[in-house]
Amino acid sequence: MKTVKSALLGSKNLIDTNQEVLLVQLREIIKEHRALIINRLVGELTVYLDFKFQYKPDKDSSLRIKEELIALKNSSVGLQHYENVVSQLMKRPMVHLTNEPFYQEIDQLLASSIQPKQMKFV
């Protein structure tokens, strides 16, 4: 048995029968964790965009970006963004999920959603 600890989800036990089953379970945990982060982010999107990208979206841009975040939340998890977590899970009985890889994936999506001409540079 392996355990994944998440500040947002608590401890989740995984059945360690084989690697494929383990990865399916890990994907579900990552998807749940990512969904919670995105839900919080959508509620404070303008603040986050201003802080992270120095970008203040208009109403249409804000709506479009929220829709893209919700699409990401509902999409399947690509483990390429979480290689470090997968690697740790294969080597250790317990893994702690940090928010860093989640925000990297989200920021990559947001950066591609914001046109360079729309960003304000300080």
pLDDT in tens, 11-36: 999 998 888 999 999 999 999 999 99
pLDDT of 118 > 60? The answer is no
What sign does the dihedral 37-40-46-52 (CA atoms) show? negative
For the chain, the structural domain boundaries read 2-106
Reading the block at residue 102, the tokens are 């989640």
**pTM for the predicted model, two decimal places:** 0.88
pLDDT in tens, 62-85: 999 999 999 999 999 999 989 999
